[in-house]
Amino acid sequence: MITIKSPREIEDMAKSGAIIAGMHVALRDIIKPGISSWKIEEFCKNYIESHGAIPEQIGFEGYKYATCVSVNDEICHGFPRKDLILKDGDLVKVDTVVNYKGAMSDSCWSYVVGKSTPEVDKLMAVTKKALYLGIDQAQVGNRLGDIGAAIQHYTEDEMGYGDVREFVGHGIGPTMHESPNVPHYGEAGHGLRLREGMTITIEPMINMGTWEAEMDDPNGWTARTADGSLSCQFEHTIAITKDGPKILTSQDPEMDAPYLLK
């Protein structure tokens, strides 16, 4: 079911989004060579709870952790691990969902550990730009295919990367995952028409090589690139409004000024 949110509900989701954004900003000083991915889990869980919120992923379909921490060729749903020690050049994706007094927000961000490489820097820049190209299409009256087509054309046709098909964005609030699905590929002018008051995630997962994923990890959750190439992801929760798309999980009020609630 698709739920249409009132302005008050969207404002509440922005309060939830501010918590998740603050967590991601703080992670910039936490993620460094020599720490385990479990330290990221501990930090995020404590941050969310210390701000009066609930890490909503815990218990979702049996998932045990507050975060997904996916490294290098892991596309998504990587488990935080005490024995996974981060090193220079690792590409780390941290994804979580925050429930603040019943209002949901969802955001994944990518980080390079220590010293980066030009290849990683480029993949991260392309993926972040793809996110914003998708957000720009999230206008009242546009269709879901407009979002996916903008992302796919840029990442695959222009940049030669792989645009993951197996995982998509989604509606959010009052539950963590709800309709509609929001693919990051597709055909402009096709799909569900966007309406004022819808709240969705846009979360492109872009691979340096093939778009295809392997999902045979023994843990039953983690997806990896089929060719072992690096994968990157950026995700915002947004609201569809008469004044355009509004980012509810912004980490940069200056850069995101046109996308913020007034």
Rounded CA separation 232/123 (Å): 7
Rounded CA separation 196/175 (Å): 19
Among candidates 45, 11, 14, 6, which has minimal Cα distance to 27? 45
Other CB atoms within 10 Å distance of the CB of residue 101 = 10
- Asked whether residue 190 is marked as a ligand-binding residue, the answer is no
Is residue 168 within 8 A of residue 181, CB to CB? The reply is yes
Among candidates 42, 48, 67, 71, which has minimal Cα distance to 57? 67
| Residue type, position 187, single letter | E
Q: Residue 20 phi/psi, 5° resolution?
A: -65, -35
Q: What is the CA radius of gyration of the chain?
A: 17
- Asked whether residue 203 is marked as a ligand-binding residue, the answer is yes
- DSSP 8-class letter at 153: I
Please state the length of the chain. 262
- Asked whether residue 95 is marked as a ligand-binding residue, the answer is yes
- Asked whether residue 136 is marked as a ligand-binding residue, the answer is no
Rounded CA separation 20/232 (Å): 19
Other CB atoms within 10 Å distance of the CB of residue 178 = 17
- Asked whether residue 106 is marked as a ligand-binding residue, the answer is yes
- Asked whether residue 77 is marked as a ligand-binding residue, the answer is yes
Largest Cα–Cα distance of the chain, in whole Å? 48
Among candidates 207, 220, 237, which has minimal Cα distance to 75? 207
Which residues define the annotated binding site for a divalent metal cation? 95, 106, 170, 203, 235
Which residues define the annotated binding site? 77, 95, 106, 170, 177, 203, 235
Which residues define the annotated binding site for substrate? 77, 177
